[in-house]
Amino acid sequence: MSTMKGSSKNLKTAVEAYQWVKASYANAHRAKQEGRPVAWLMFGVPLEIIYTMGVSPLFPENYGTLCAAKRVGYKFCEAAEQDGYNKQLCSYARTVTGHTFHPEVLPDPPSGGLAKPDMLIAPTMICDLRQKWFEDVARRLDVPIFYIGLPDNDATWQTGLPDQYLLDLFVSETKDLIEFLEKTTQKKFNEADFLQRLAWANEAIDLRLEILEARKHVPAPMGSSDYFASIFPGMTMLGTKEAVDFYQRMLAEIKERAENNIGIVPEEKFRLMWSGIPIWFNLGLLNYPEPLGGVMCIEGNYQSLPRERSEDPYIDLAYRYFQKNGSIGVDSQVDLAKQFVQSYQIDGVILSYTQSCRPFYIFQAEVRNHLQDELGIPCLMLESDMADERAYSEGQVRTRMDAFLEVIMKQKGLK
Amino acid sequence: MKSLEKARNMIESRHQRLSEWKEKGGGKVVGEFCKYVPEEMISASGALPVFISGEMDRFQGVDRFLQENTCPYMRSCFSAGIAGDYDYLDALVVTHGCDIMSKMHDFWGKRTKVPEIFLLDFPHKVNEASLVFFREVIERFKQFLESVTGVEITEASLSESIRAYNAFRRTLKAVYDLRRQNPRPVNGTETLTVLLASMLLPIGEADAFLGEFLAEAGSRTDLPPQGVPIMVTGTDVSNLDLFQFLEDSGALIVSDDLCTGSRYFWHPVDENEAPLDALARRYLTNIPCSRTVPSEERYEHIIRVAKVYQAQGVIMPIVDFCDNHMFDAPYVLNRISNSGLPVLPIEVDFTRGGLEQVRPNVETFIEIIAQGE
Amino acid sequence: MEQERTFRAGIDIGTESVNIVVMNDARIIYSQTLVTEQAGPVAVKALLDQAAAEMKWPSGFVPPLVSTGIGKKTIPLALKTSTDMVCHAEGARWHFPEARTVIDIGASGSRVLRLSAMGRVEKFAVNAKCASGTGIYLRNMTQILESSFEEMSALSEGVSESTEVSNYCAVFAESEVISMIHSGESKERLAAGVFDAVVDRLMEQINRVGLNAPLVMTGGVARNQGLVRSLERRVGLRAMIPPEPEIVGALGAALMAGKEIEAPAKRLEVGDH
């Protein structure tokens, strides 16, 4: 019998976050009914601008995670494969493609499904597939698409400030994006509103930095299950007052727990880091070590990191984009992993190797190599997929987790 | 054909040849994976650009760094890198040809002995702003080359290099045009062999070598088997085993849209524009590969190249895990079919065993075309 | 022997067996299958010797012969070779002259062929590399469900709602089915679910090629009523099955041999250099 299940959370705010997820899909449906524009976006689009222009945003990548968590994503994947999309392709893309062009597969999809877009916006960073995916959707649905043509951030650590030519491209593309939106929405860009939203976004990011700091506390006041449950506002709602309020509440809750030494388990015995994308159809894995006193207390790849600031709003946005952890180069990810292991006092790392996501698996072997060779940290490489549950062997995963946790406990003298 | 024999030997002993070239003349060797790199600049610095390519079935030593479900082509190149095959390189230039290729900047930097690596930040999107950006990128590339070679790259030396490469492009076009003749005096494997060999030579010699091949083809009597004329499109892997396999299965490869093939020579660099500007423009706006947007020109080029060389069918090899080609494959296959050409996709895992698995598919495709209606 | 001139033969050298079909004019007069893992010249010789003995051919006589299948090039006696899929189309058309789609499911893979009105293969799609959707997957399932092919077929009859077997990888599917057995899922619904899963995998190929009636199924797996039913339900078409679906390839090769002696065309010899 399957023991795959959702995760249990420790924070009230983590549980609350799901309301925002549902709301975003409902808002888009309402926008369609009321004739307001709906855009399909990806992470990396400057959201302040989207909200300023009154566009209702949808994040198909997130819909991939939602369908996976609801255990229906694979049906859409299958439909896409029957249309000729190779099963090696990103499972978010397969899920959404299957859902969009074969809604008959599941007439009652999660959250009422993805409202059809009036436009698509695809930043050309993180992975090649994003632009191919949106290009394909735009072609099939015959809707306008704007590519934000930004550098990939492949290079290893950028030190100091980004060079002028990088900033110039960023600013130029951002201004072109505004022009595109003015055209498609027939609205003028409201600079004052944008500046207010930029201030809110920066406030939310700063709050998330404080949260990151607060999580260093032993025992850990917040777990990875909380993090992934509450990732949505940080990735999709920057530029709204709601996001600021949300992270204020979250920070307060974490601080209170830290002050009172309320952890994830009654007695915290060992601390683990989750690297890579979570396995959305089995988030319960994030709680798996808890009966043994282990906590999954930090995630290696999704955090905001301190960034340079600028008075110029566009340069400020650019600095946020070019910040050091924006790089998905292998060396950067190795360095980040080492940093996190040390500052969070990590005893072991679980490396999620999600087969259909190249940028997020490509560094895992080297992260493992460096953590093991240089820091003597035990690592477990878990091969799976992030949203296609057909590429997952639960029995195998549990066996390997059990063996890994044995090693950790032996190392800590707990066995 | 003497040039063909020579080419085979050159490829066989390429690492040795390049090391010897370095020792004899003291020249520098700069490796690259991707034809978005403006080779004219490398030549202008006196260095020799070297196209790093993978070998089928060769993945030794790689699993610890790059697991099995990663592009087998880049794994194979990396296997050669960690084995020390390319230790004679003075520098390596890496582009974001794709997500995996771009990471080679870090992998080769940490795990091979290549001393200097440059990340050529090639834009995904082609527009005015990215042209300005790319112009700056190649300015920095110029400085990198100058520091590696100790040679100043002047406007004059760049212009000369551009002219030499354009001449090579013209000769290559003439070589390709051989396969517009009926019967075809040369086939795809032979052409690719000579092309890959010529890429081991400084550009002037490369042009002359291609010219030899062209001349010999003109008087050739032992023609290759006249298989069904086929055009090849797909993951830009210029691999002799793959071409040989297709032609053994009854095809005669008459054209392609590969970056080392038709897209290499189709558009020259403007000799009237200031050289760095001309290079930035030509390389950025060249017929795009699958990782660049917008894509329309790429689709048009595929059909055009098939028709100009009178292909009767199109074969599309797609390497495992190649997101860029896999994603629009359904669209491209339809588009090619709708243009009136039969088209066959084949999966390539970069092993010879994998080729054997798809042999029935290729043979059937060929037999169907040969049967006619 | 006056009938000498009208004999023609086809030999299909597959991965697990070798088949021979001998025709005389328009009739199949002899067919034989040799199940062997050594499917090569030795097996072919054995088959030919057997055929010669049974049909009392004069010593040394071999009828005009076309070879097909994975080992087709190992027969120097053959007039020519022809690919498996083209031969299957020929053979299917001989049984059902109006056939427009042929689905062949064999041990190593499945193929969907679209035929033109003239009976030529226009387009085909072969399964992707992994083992799912083939005879091997089904064979593994017979072991797990502890039922033979025929029993699985009988089990699935009458099932209105099958149990979903979602894993496409044969290895994962095995553990999925095993765990479902342990949790009490009925064998009947599981058997039906396995057939549905095979058909699901086929849909990608069917969609790529397009489905036109009449539909013919060939290959040994076509004997399995359960699978055929599952396919018919899914695509909404009746599937016609030749009486001996395993030898359709060899039959097609024999037909090609006939065409070759009637009009030896200066055709390109596939793979022959």
Domain boundaries, chain B: 2-153
CA atoms of B53 and B77, how far apart (whole Å): 6
Nearest alpha carbon to residue A79 among C166, C210, C137: C166
Instruction: Answer whether C172 touches A (CB < 8 Å).
Output: yes
Mean pLDDT, to the nearest integer, of A27-36?
97
CA atoms of A87 and C168, how far apart (whole Å): 10
Chain C neighbours among A 140-169 (CB < 8 Å)?
Answer: none
Whole-number pLDDT of residue C268: 46
Nearest CA in chain B to A127: B99
Nearest Cα of chain A lies from the Cα of B328 at a distance, in angstroms, of: 7
Whole-number pLDDT of residue B343: 96
Nearest alpha carbon to residue C196 among C132, C125, C148: C132
Of all residues in chain A, what percent carry a pLDDT higher than 90?
85
Cβ <8 Å between B250 and C270: yes
Nearest Cα of chain A lies from the Cα of C234 at a distance, in angstroms, of: 13
> B281-292, pLDDT tens digit by residue?
999 999 999 999
Instruction: Answer whether C94 touches B (CB < 8 Å).
Output: no
Mean pLDDT, to the nearest integer, of C100-111?
87
Nearest Cα of chain C lies from the Cα of B357 at a distance, in angstroms, of: 8
Question: Which three-class secondary structure state does DSSP give residue A325?
Answer: helix
Q: How confident is the model at residue C223 (pLDDT cuts 50, 70, 90)?
A: confident
> C56-99, pLDDT tens digit by residue?
888 888 899 999 998 899 888 899 999 999 999 999 999 999 99
Of A84, A389, A393, the CB nearest to C204: A84
Whole-number pLDDT of residue C272: 41
Does the interface predicted TM-score (ipTM) exceed 0.90?
A: yes
Instruction: Judge whether residue C44 has pLDDT over 90.
Output: no
Chain C residues lying within 8 Å of A74, measured CB to CB: 166
Instruction: Answer whether B69 touches A (CB < 8 Å).
Output: yes
> B199-214, pLDDT tens digit by residue?
999 999 999 999 999 9
The yes or no reply on domain C2-91+247-262 and CATH 3.30.420.40 is yes
* Chains touching B (3+ CB pairs < 8 Å): A, C
Query: Which of these ranges, A28-32, A288-292, C163-167, has the smallest mean pLDDT?
Result: C163-167
Domain boundaries, chain C: 2-91+247-262, 98-241
CA atoms of C144 and C127, how far apart (whole Å): 23
> B123-154, pLDDT tens digit by residue?
999 999 999 999 999 999 999 999 999 999 99
CA atoms of A356 and A385, how far apart (whole Å): 6
Instruction: Judge whether residue C5 has pLDDT over 80.
Output: no
Chain A to chain C, count of Cβ pairs less than 8 Å apart? 34
Whole-number pLDDT of residue A326: 60
Cβ <8 Å between C128 and B370: no
Cβ <8 Å between B360 and C128: no
Of B363, B370, B373, the CB nearest to C116: B373
Do C2-91+247-262 and C98-241 have matching folds? Answer: yes
Instruction: Answer whether C208 touches A (CB < 8 Å).
Output: yes
Question: Which three-class secondary structure state does DSSP give residue B221?
Answer: coil
Mean predicted lDDT score pLDDT of chain B: 95
Chain A residues lying within 8 Å of C166, measured CB to CB: 74, 389-390
Instruction: Answer whether C121 touches B (CB < 8 Å).
Output: yes
> B85-137, pLDDT tens digit by residue?
999 999 999 999 999 999 999 999 999 999 999 999 999 999 999 999 999 99
Whole-number pLDDT of residue A159: 60
Q: Which CATH number fits domain B2-153: 3.40.50.11890, 3.30.450.20, 3.40.50.1100, 3.10.129.10?
A: 3.40.50.11890
CA atoms of C4 and C21, how far apart (whole Å): 15
Can you give the pTM of this predicted structure?
0.94
Pairing of the two strands C110-115 and C121-126: antiparallel
Cβ <8 Å between A82 and C167: no
Instruction: Answer whether C122 touches B (CB < 8 Å).
Output: yes
Whole-number pLDDT of residue C273: 37
Mean pLDDT, to the nearest integer, of C247-260?
94
Chain B residues lying within 8 Å of C82, measured CB to CB: 367
The torsion angle over the Cα atoms of residues A104, A108, A114 and A117, rounded to 10 degrees, is 50
Domain boundaries, chain A: 12-411
DSSP conformation class of A290: G
Nearest Cα of chain C lies from the Cα of B299 at a distance, in angstroms, of: 20
Instruction: Answer whether B27 touches A (CB < 8 Å).
Output: no
Mean pLDDT, to the nearest integer, of A331-355?
95
DSSP conformation class of B125: B
Beta-sheet strands, E only, within chain B: 29-32, 48-51, 91-95, 117-120, 228-232, 251-256, 313-319, 343-348
Instruction: Answer whether A393 touches C (CB < 8 Å).
Output: yes
Q: Which CATH number fits domain C98-241: 2.60.40.10, 3.30.565.10, 3.30.420.40, 3.40.710.10?
A: 3.30.420.40
Q: Return the bridge partners of A40, or none.
A: A58, A120
